[in-house]
């Protein structure tokens, strides 16, 4: 099993004829992702690479193909409307790769999605991959391999580093979820940790967090009460000055709760092992899994 996406997921790509959309749609198709439709207003009736039909709207794409997930590569000024269009078409899962969406636009999106059953990943995220089954995003596919570790991350680049280290050590991944680094986004760390906790194929959970916000504390609070799976975490931004933006719009220390130290204390108090160096993410996770295995034995 996996979470969010698998080989049966039927995908529509919004913005499939744009430079980024076309490039990454081809990479997803090459991986085996079941892309059944594309959407570019004004280009309905055409096809992408002579294989994927293009529609003028998401609702037309859904009626014709039964798509259940949307991958959004629409430019930032129009991306919020693209998300809302997919939600109005009752798409189950929306993954928005676009960065630079105005915060006020995302507040409008969040308020609308609260009235629906649609799940949103992103924006400003690398996407979602279930290795060997389906890739919806911009991550390099070759570094992934199927396995037991579920990864949820606020950082795209650190996700790739963690995956590469684990794969080099012979440890595969059940699913990898990049939730994005913007302050207003869809599913959070706690939401994804809970999904991994319920997934039979996920035997261990790796959390990659960073400064700013309280998502790591929320994930730790859930894990402490509800989870029995081994978990480890790495937190980026230990030396970041208070109040300074560090790459992600959400990575701003604006209070004690947003500091790395506060997050470390919350995670460790919940029993989650905190890895101190990015060079040790893979080996740290392997050690946590091994310790849990010996304990069960």
Residue 185 in tokens: 């986004």
In sequence order, the β-bridge partners of residue 149 are 173, 204
Annotated binding-site residues read 17-20, 43, 97-99, 160
Say which of 24, 144, 185, 248 is annotated catalytic: 248
Q: What H or E segment, with its residue span, contains residue 85?
A: helix 76-88
Residue 248 designated active-site: yes
Give backbone dihedrals phi and psi of 16, rounded to 5 degrees, phi first.
Answer: -70, -20
Count CB atoms within 10 A of the CB of residue 241: 9
CA-based nearest residue to 253, from 216, 296, 202, 204: 216
CA-based nearest residue to 98, from 173, 20, 214: 20
Residue 294 in tokens: 């010996």
d(CA 205, CA 148): 9
Q: Which residues of 99-134 are buried (b: 16+ CB within 10 A; e: fewer)?
A: bebeeebbebbeeebeeeebbbbbbbbbbbbbbbbb
Residue 80 in tokens: 């919020």
- The residue assigned the tokens 């039964």 is 66
Residue 130 in tokens: 């279930």
| Contacts for 108 with CB less than 8 Å, ≥ 6 apart | 80, 84
Looking only at the bridges linking them, the beta strands covering 127-130 and 173-178 are antiparallel
Annotated binding-site residues for substrate read 160
List the catalytic residues: 248
């Amino acid at each position: 099993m996996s979470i969010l996406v698998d080989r049966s997921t039927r995908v529509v790509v919004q913005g499939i004829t744009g430079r980024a959309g076309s490039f990454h749609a081809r990479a997803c198709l090459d991986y085996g992702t079941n892309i059944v439709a594309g959407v570019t207003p004004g280009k309905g009736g055409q096809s992408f690479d002579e294989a994927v039909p293009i529609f003028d709207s998401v609702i037309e794409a859904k009626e014709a193909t039964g798509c259940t997930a949307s991958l959004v590569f629409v430019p930032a000024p129009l991306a919020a409307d693209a998300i809302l269009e997919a939600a109005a078409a009752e798409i189950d899962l929306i993954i928005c790769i676009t960065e630079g969406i105005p915060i006020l636009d995302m507040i409008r999106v969040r308020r609308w999605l609260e009235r629906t059953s649609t799940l949103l990943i992103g924006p400003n995220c690398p996407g979602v991959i279930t290795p060997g089954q389906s890739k919806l995003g911009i991550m390099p596919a070759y570094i992934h391999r199927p396995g037991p570790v579920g990864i949820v991350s606020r950082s795209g680049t650190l996700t790739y580093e963690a995956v590469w280290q684990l794969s080099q050590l012979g440890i595969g991944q059940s699913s990898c979820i990049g939730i994005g680094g913007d302050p207003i986004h869809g599913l959070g760390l706690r939401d994804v940790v809970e999904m991994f906790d319920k997934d039979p194929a996920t035997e261990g959970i790796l959390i990659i967090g960073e400064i700013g916000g309280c998502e790591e504390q929320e994930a730790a609070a859930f894990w402490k009460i509800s989870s029995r799976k081994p978990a480890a975490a790495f937190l980026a931004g230990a030396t970041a000055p208070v109040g300074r933006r560090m790459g992600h719009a959400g990575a701003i220390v604006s209070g004690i709760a947003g500091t790395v130290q506060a997050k470390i204390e919350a995670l460790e108090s919940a029993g989650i092992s905190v890895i101190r160096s990015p060079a040790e993410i893979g080996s740290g996770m392997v050690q946590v899994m091994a310790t849990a295995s010996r304990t069960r034995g």
